[in-house]
Structure 1
Amino acid sequence: MINNDYKWYPVYTRSRAEKKAYEELLRKGITAYLPLKKTVKQWSDRKKIVEEPLIKSYLFVYISAREQAEVMMTNGIARFIYFSGHIASLPEQQIEALKLLLATESELEVFEYDLKAGEKVIVKAGPFKGMLAELISIRNKQRIVLRLEQMGFAISINTSVAFIEPLLD
């Protein structure tokens, strides 16, 4: 289904409306892709494996420019994503790479913020939970170096970047 008029576009959905918007797009005959990951949810009486969006409030549509209005008239769709004043599009290879990555069933984490060296952070989990720190470096997603403010030294921690977040002033 390669056609030069058709491109993959990321669209932003209303909060928690990704699956419903995806299903409605398919009902309209629009090719769409909603990357899902499996996670274990814990309730007081049971655990359950559920599929939730890999990237909250995003899905991808494969359309021509003349179908953009139809996508916008879909329940749950909030807007197209813009980059440099134009509607952003993605190469087919990126969508295929994302599908391949999800097919491996490896543990994936998506972060909604971009952490940089020198930023003040707070540790959300683990033995240093609640501590304020300065991010010195990220060696990979599982090894970070923090300067712990209360202790006055830097420490390399084997933990996920998901366990820290920027400190809001």
Structure 2
Amino acid sequence: MRRWILPFLAQLLLLTIFFTKQQSSVSMQSHITEKTVVELVSSDCLMHISSTASPDQPAIVSPATTAWYLLHTKPRQEEVALMNLERQGYECYLPLMRIERARRRKVATVAEPMFPRYLFIRLDSSDQGKSWSPIRSTTGVNQLVRFGTCAAKVDDALVNLLRQREQLMPTASMFNNGDAVVIADGPFSGMEAIYQNTDPECRAMILLEMLSKTVPMQIDAGRLLRVG
């Protein structure tokens, strides 16, 4: 098994556990890393995923000869690969998550891949299906994920679950209450503070140490940086 396959499996299983047990929070998901290595999702896990699917959203029915597979992309080219594959007529799915980012000292909500460098592609394994050969040479694509000589197949239940949860996920905030932050510019540039919260106008409330006193202060959240 190739070394770069394992981090994806770790992320996928951690995300499944997270979604089914902690649907109201995004903090754990936004900090999923590639340090933990787990085995391929077992049939028992997939049965659990199927049982958690919403009864109000029926699963997408596809021909029996088609299935979802994993695709590894080039660094930061998930959307490039997605666009070029769809132009060729392939059905693809790139799970996204909404995250707050600082842009020109302002807070903006951006959509980023849930699994960096991975997307799902639906392929037909029958002789009448669309050829797989153009995939490897598609701009943005690295290669199909394989276990030995077999392309890594993903259960429909997992993809359906990801689609549902993607719609329910709240936007991940740049900071959490109690985070140590530093002011990036202005008269207090370089001073450290403790983040409290952000109002709807993206004004952050912070606690600043001044003259041995803790002083509350409002500042544009885009002017803050996380310490460390």
* TM above 0.5: yes
The equivalent residue for 1:20 is 80
In 1, are the aligned partners of 2:97 and 2:114 still within 8 Å (CA)?
A: yes
Structure 2 counterpart of 1:81, one-letter code: V
Superposition pairs for residues 36-55 of structure 1, below 5 Å? 36-55=96-115
3-state SS, counterpart of residue 19 of structure 1: helix
Q: Distance in 2 between matches of 1:74 and 1:24?
A: 7
Over residues 116-165 of structure 1, what are the superposed CA-to-partner deviations in whole Å (9 max), with x where a residue is unaligned?
xxxxxxxxxx68xxxxxxxxxxxxxxxxxxxxxxxxxxxxxxxxxxxxxx
Q: Distance in 2 between matches of 1:13 and 1:100?
A: 24
Q: Report the aligned-residue RMSD.
A: 2.2
TM-score normalised by L of structure 2: 0.45
Superposition pairs for residues 2-151 of structure 1, below 5 Å? 2-65=62-125, 67-106=131-170
TM-score normalised by L of structure 1: 0.59
Q: Distance in 2 between matches of 1:84 and 1:25?
A: 24
Q: Distance in 2 between matches of 1:7 and 1:107?
A: 30
Q: Distance in 2 between matches of 1:72 and 1:64?
A: 16
Structure 1 counterpart of 2:78, one-letter code: E
Over residues 36-84 of structure 1, what are the superposed CA-to-partner deviations in whole Å (9 max), with x where a residue is unaligned?
1111111352111111100000001001235321222211110111235
Structure that is richer in helix per residue = 2
Which consecutive unaligned segments of at least 5 residues does structure 1 have?
A: 109-125, 128-169
Q: Distance in 1 between matches of 2:135 and 2:118?
A: 13
Q: Distance in 2 between matches of 1:89 and 1:67?
A: 17
Over residues 4-48 of structure 1, what are the superposed CA-to-partner deviations in whole Å (9 max), with x where a residue is unaligned?
221100100000000011011111111000001111111352111
In 1, are the aligned partners of 2:100 and 2:171 still within 8 Å (CA)?
A: no
Structure 2 counterpart of 1:86, one-letter code: C
Q: Which has the larger radius of gyration?
A: 2
Q: Distance in 1 between matches of 2:87 and 2:104?
A: 36
Aligned length: 111
Structure that is richer in strand per residue = 1
Q: Distance in 1 between matches of 2:82 and 2:140?
A: 9
Q: Distance in 2 between matches of 1:24 and 1:15?
A: 15
Q: Distance in 1 between matches of 2:98 and 2:170?
A: 10
Structure 2 counterpart of 1:16, one-letter code: R
Percent identity of the aligned residues?
A: 22
